[in-house]
Amino acid sequence: MSIQDMIAQLGQGMLTSVLIYALTLIGAVPLALPLALARGGKSKIARLLTGAYISFMRGTPLMLQLIAVYFGPWYLFRIRISDGYRFHAVIIAFVLNYAAYFAEIYRAGIAAVPKGQREAAAVLGYTNAQAFFRIVLPQVIKHILPPMANEFITLIKDTSLAFAIGVMEMFTLAKQISSAQRSMAPLIAAAVFYYVFNAIVAFIMGRAEKRLDYYR
């Protein structure tokens, strides 16, 4: 295999990995907020349900969740599984899994904001929603950036688990090419990709954290 062919194949795997990464964040980051609010809310039923969900998603392997989401429709409802569903199953499993982690990070960030600020907002005539989105949430974002950055970095590495249901992302392709060609070059190329991608993510999150330094 020529270098050009190897790069072309790895490029396809890289695009798949990045797409899994982006779609997971698009789905999981907003989903985590209502989960966090329900987890820390006044409704006992909502707290129990969200607590059970978060505990299960964090307490079982992501690979197991991938397999369950992919094969579940057939084993539970005898719904025929198409090849096109593989990628959708990856996104569903990743979103559900990472939303649980992000929800706990959100909850910790909300708890870190003093209650007195909500009380002051109420005195000034803010509704609960206005107080949350204008006063609490900006400070929450400041508090959660470092742990969120860690999860963002972990996510790109976790995309390699998509191989469990046959989705050919970056690492799987690199491993196959390396085995077929008896060369370490594809694996080295994959390592460089993961490192550079995570370095970019860390840089962006670091810059965002500095821009929010006025929240102290």
Examine the pLDDT at 97 and tell me if it is beyond 80: yes
The domain locations on the chain are 3-211
Q: Among 4-8, 93-97, 202-206, where is mean pLDDT lowest?
A: 4-8
Mean pLDDT of 78-89: 90
The reported pTM is: 0.91
3-12, 64-73, 143-152, 162-171: segment of lowest average pLDDT: 3-12
pLDDT grade for 124, boundaries at 50, 70 and 90: confident
* Sequential DSSP letters for 62-91: HHHHHHHHHHHHHHHH-PPPPTTHHHHHHH
**Tokens describing residue 184:** 């370490």
The reported pLDDT for the residue numbered 136 is: 86
Average pLDDT over residues 40-45: 90
The residue ranking higher by pLDDT, 137 or 197, is 197
In CATH terms, the fold of domain 3-211 is MetI-like fold (1.10.3720)
